[in-house]
Amino acid sequence: MKASQVIEELQLAPHPEGGWYREVYRSTDRVLRGEQSRSATTAIYYLLEQQQLSRWHVVDADEIWHFYAGAPLLLLTYDPTSRQLVRHLLSAPSGGFTSMGIVPAGVWQAAHSLGEYSLVGCTVSPGFEFSGFRFTADLPDHRAHFSGAMSQYEAML
């Protein structure tokens, strides 16, 4: 299938970080995150086309990426505390690829497709809220982290 066919079939809409998405599940169970009540978990379809980027961002909850179809996806994670950059290649599990990538709360993340498109799912727990989402470019002193190995990914801001 072409990316446009997948976007149409799954009824995906533009995502603010880049790419296409649709929320497919929001738990009715509620949990407390600090003093905020939110869904226990949420899940989305997420598609990146070759020319699109999932811009550097941070979420206040754990996120698990699940590879579904298309070209391999490069998922980048960066822990601003330890300054550790990790490259995850998501695809069908074989030959050095894994089908899941885990991003702990507070770890920066960005991604791009290594082909025509990559279709993944993202599960967030406690559930995703846009109030807990920040673009890394909006964080104070973020530029100090884009040196060394990170400098090659600064364009993804």
User: For the domain that residue 85 is a member of, what is the CATH number?
Assistant: 2.60.120.10
The predicted pLDDT at position 86 comes to 96
CA atoms within 13 A on the CB side of 143: 0
Nearest to 49 by CA among 20, 92, 10: 20
CB 46 within 8 A of CB 120: yes
- Tell me the helix, strand and coil percentages in the chain, rounded to 5: 15, 50, 35
Provide the residue range defining the domain that includes 71. 3-156
The predicted pLDDT at position 100 comes to 96
Query: Residue 95: pLDDT above 80?
Result: no
Determine the Cα–Cα distance for residues 8 and 13; give it in Å rounded to an integer. 9
**Section 11-35 average pLDDT:** 96
**Section 40-67 average pLDDT:** 97
What's the structural domain count of the chain?
1
Residues 6+ apart with CB under 8 A from 3: 47, 49, 70, 116, 117
Q: Tell me the pLDDT of the chain averaged across its residues.
A: 95
Percent of the chain residues past pLDDT 70, beyond the cut: 100
Kind and range of the H or E element at 25? Answer: strand 20-26
DSSP 136: G
